[in-house]
Amino acid sequence: MSRPSWWVEDPSILSDDDPSFLCEVCRHINFRYLIYESPIAQIVEDIPLGPYSTLLQRQHCAFCRLTKCAIDNIFGVGVVPLEHNGKTVTIAFSTMLGSAMLDGSSPKVLSIKIRPSGINDDKIKNPEIQVVPDGSWLQGTGAGRPMQPSEVSSQLIFSWGVFCRLGVFGHSNGPSSTKSPHPLPSSFRVIDTKDNCILPVKSKINYLALSYVWGVEKPGLRLMGENYTDLCTEGSLLRFSDGIPQTIRDAMELVQKMNERYLWVDVLCIIQDDENDKMEQVAAMDRIYGTATLTIAAAFGEGPEAGLPGIRPGSRSWIQKTENIQGLSLVNRPKNFDSIERSRWNTRAWTYQERVLSSRIVFFGEQQTFYWCSHLEGYFSEDQDSKPIPRQPRSFRHNIGGPLPLKWSINIVTYKDALEAFTKRHITMAGDILNAFEGVAQRLYPLFRGGFIYGLPETELDYCLSWEAVDDLDRRRDAGGEPLFPSWSWAGWVGAINLNWKERLSCIKWVNKEDGREYSTADYRAPSTAFADETRTYQWLQEWKETRNNSTFHYFSHPDEPDTWFLHPTAPEAERRRDLRPAYHPTAGLLEFRASVARLSFKDWRAPDGLGSREGLPRTLVIYNDDGEVVGSMSIPVSLLCDIRENNRYSAILIAQTTLNPELKEMRARRKTNQERPVEDGICKAGPDEPALSEVQASAAPNGHQGDTHEALDQAELLVVEWRDNIAYRIGFGYMHVDDWGTMEPITQTVLLG
């Protein structure tokens, strides 16, 4: 049997007291070949090191020592067991690409595999080992970079920021800055780290911004009306230093180490007991973070006392071991960017907008720092000398969690990505959810050429009504238990939502509140000169370029802004008719439109057993027509099932048509009612004849297929609503074939959606 390419048949054997000594297993491995010469296909091959218990006995071997150190650093000393469920834990490793250079030109990284892991958290990435060549610092080699585990290099952070601002990363022809064209608030303030006081800003300055979590309790020292004058006095922050949380103190120290002077921190730069000041600053978050020279993200710990690891000597503790193996300096890597994604900082709603609104961010993790800017693909890490790759135009999926792109991304896709990431996060004060999204809405304004209504873009409002639940939802309520925000807005619900990115034909017409005139969102997007003028409308549409990406989804661009991509042609707001805005009653939060509406019934429904033990997914129920045929499915949150009553009024509202998903196509093809009515747990009874639970699980929902407008739009998208006092309130979302919609005996009526 032939040996693999990395096998060394007759290796030299060093004295076992030599620091570079390799054991009988490791000396047969050609590490130089694996790291520098192996083909990309090599990454699929695991190289066994044997049982973990045996590896622990081979600590006289340089690579076995380094492997143990890498495992201990990621999981903790002694955490990985020797056996798991009666099976011996074994260790292997494979090569992986060490940077974003997919051609394999950069040195490869060695990824340690533990099988079976015995670690409950399968989201933790494998420990890694990399080569650290001499002299590698900011040369873009893609190789490893030596670190000081106990202290971060402020010089490296400074260099990242300066190189970005000077265009050294090669992004001069890339998208412009994400900064907002609007000025900062007139009441904008910063911390002057030199004079140790709060400074009202009267002219343009360079400043850094801090993003962190407040924790269970509010930070100690806060800017209030009563101490405002004192804190604006030179040296005042030194007198109150005991009340300043460690994270803020560390950020102030970092600012000075980077030869900067000013820092923005919410708790000390917004008057906390002045609601007017709060609202002015909240509305300007896109400008505050977008204008900052650099955002410092404190992505470690549970609150403001955690500090920034590595700013103070000894404030981050991990061991990096260096071993000389076959003439190569190999080191274990610190925890990677996954530690940032898993941090508490990354679960909070407020920090989401702080992350995506920033032009440049330095993330402080438990073991290393990372740098991310709006010009680049990916991020830089403290332990790797990565080659910068300028961001490229793409019609879909920008870096999730990266800065919101103002160019080279379809507006609805940017919104979808932001919305899905944001609704996964948590917020302490339920009523703050839209405030925490306000900066994102302000940033997205030029992409939609319009404002937002309860978190939905008004120029694509009908399209965005088709959001769906990912997991179970709860109605968002105030402290008194009253619902907050309209039911048609995602802001009215607690839980993750999804907006399927696909072609849609709107099926609703807005109703003018004054004269009852009906019109579409497309009418609102068009310039006022084109309204009711087919010739002018045609001429205006001809100005737009339509592009289709590989998935056949289309988007539009205009010669005036060729790098700004729209779902539909949209005229600038100043050129549109304001009286054609979506019919919205701001006081009551009602939408008014004409649509096709069909009755739904939940006959003989009874409370299911075990309803309190939620399974994490919305209940998927079948929809029957009056002939007892299964025609579609709908999802209703578990939290609302107990409120369903036979005598209440329920309806389905046809809001859009889209391409048919395979599951619904199969459902319609079978058309055998007895195959569609299994009774499971007696949980839900829907339909005119008898109760049933749908066999169509959550997987039956459309899978995000991006339809072609040349395909038939055969799938009806439905809002499931409950009527109270002649106002419809959303309780779920459903689907059926458009031909089956006719069997539901729908009528066209005016709907007030609350």
pLDDT of residue 693: 25
Closest to 248 (Cα-Cα) out of 218, 288, 224: 218
Percentage above 90 pLDDT, the chain: 55
Closest to 157 (Cα-Cα) out of 254, 35, 301: 254
Query: 276 pLDDT band (50/70/90 cuts)?
Result: very high
Could you tell me if 483 and 492 are in contact, meaning their C-beta atoms sit under 8 angstroms apart? yes
Dihedral angle sign, alpha carbons of residues 473, 475, 476, 479: negative
Dihedral angle sign, alpha carbons of residues 314, 318, 324, 328: negative
Closest to 131 (Cα-Cα) out of 140, 121, 120, 142: 142
pLDDT of residue 713: 85
Asked whether the predicted pLDDT for residue 309 surpasses 70, the reply is yes
Average pLDDT score over residue span 602-620: 54
Angle between helices 433-448 and 275-282 (to 10 degrees): 40
In three-state secondary structure terms, 550 is coil
pLDDT digits (tens, 9 = 90+) for 212-258: 998 777 778 999 999 999 999 999 999 999 999 999 999 999 999 99
**Cα–Cα distance for residue pair 714/239, rounded to 1 Å:** 69
**Cα–Cα distance for residue pair 326/32, rounded to 1 Å:** 7
131 is written with which tokens?
């080569």
**Cα–Cα distance for residue pair 15/24, rounded to 1 Å:** 12
729 is written with which tokens?
């309130």
Closest to 384 (Cα-Cα) out of 600, 161, 129: 129
Helical residues (DSSP H) of 143-293, grouped into ranges: 154-166, 228-231, 236-239, 246-257, 266-269, 275-282, 285-291
pLDDT of residue 708: 36
Asked whether the predicted pLDDT for residue 608 surpasses 60, the reply is no
Give the residue with greater pLDDT, 356 vs 489.
Answer: 489
**Cα–Cα distance for residue pair 378/375, rounded to 1 Å:** 10
Query: 404 pLDDT band (50/70/90 cuts)?
Result: confident
Average pLDDT score over residue span 423-444: 93
pLDDT of residue 631: 83
Q: Using alpha carbons, list the distances in angstroms from residue 466 to 25, 283, 457, 650.
A: 58, 27, 13, 18
Give the residue with greater pLDDT, 400 vs 576.
Answer: 576
Could you tell me if 530 and 540 are in contact, meaning their C-beta atoms sit under 8 angstroms apart? yes
The identity of residue 275, as a single letter, is E
Q: Using alpha carbons, list the distances in angstroms from residue 123 to 119, 126, 341, 754.
A: 10, 9, 11, 40
Q: Which residues contact 306 (CB under 8 A, 6 or more apart)?
A: 246, 247, 298, 300
**Cα–Cα distance for residue pair 207/209, rounded to 1 Å:** 7
pLDDT of residue 626: 74
Asked whether the predicted pLDDT for residue 2 surpasses 90, the reply is no
User: Minimum mean pLDDT among 122-131, 269-278, 313-322: which range?
Assistant: 122-131
Could you tell me if 267 and 281 are in contact, meaning their C-beta atoms sit under 8 angstroms apart? no
12 is written with which tokens?
């030299």
Average pLDDT score over residue span 246-272: 96
**Cα–Cα distance for residue pair 275/158, rounded to 1 Å:** 36
**Cα–Cα distance for residue pair 712/657, rounded to 1 Å:** 9
Give the residue with greater pLDDT, 176 vs 403.
Answer: 403
pLDDT digits (tens, 9 = 90+) for 112-143: 999 987 665 656 779 999 999 876 556 666 67
pLDDT of residue 710: 45
| Helix, strand, coil percentages, rounded to 5, for the chain | 25, 25, 50
The identity of residue 354, as a single letter, is E
| Strands annotated E in 77-220 | 83-84, 87-88, 90-96, 109-115, 128-131, 189-192, 197-200, 208-211
End-to-end, the C-alpha distance of the chain in Å comes to 72
Asked whether the predicted pLDDT for residue 672 surpasses 80, the reply is no
206 is written with which tokens?
């360079």
* Number of neighbouring beta carbons within 10 Å of residue 239: 12
**Rg of the chain, C-alpha, whole Å:** 29
Query: 706 pLDDT band (50/70/90 cuts)?
Result: very low
User: Minimum mean pLDDT among 77-91, 156-170, 340-354, 565-579: which range?
Assistant: 156-170
pLDDT digits (tens, 9 = 90+) for 42-76: 677 899 999 999 999 999 999 999 999 999 999 99
All structural domains of the chain with their residue ranges: 26-131, 160-392, 430-584, 589-753
Asked whether the predicted pLDDT for residue 613 surpasses 50, the reply is no
pLDDT of residue 44: 73
490 is written with which tokens?
């995602």
pLDDT of residue 147: 85
Is-cis flag, bond preceding 116, omega within 30? yes
pLDDT of residue 161: 78
Closest to 380 (Cα-Cα) out of 216, 168, 543: 168
Q: Using alpha carbons, list the distances in angstroms from residue 741 to 620, 651, 659, 720, 745.
A: 18, 12, 15, 14, 8
pLDDT of residue 712: 76
Average pLDDT, the chain: 84
**Cα–Cα distance for residue pair 442/406, rounded to 1 Å:** 12
pLDDT of residue 355: 92
Q: pTM to 2 decimals?
A: 0.84
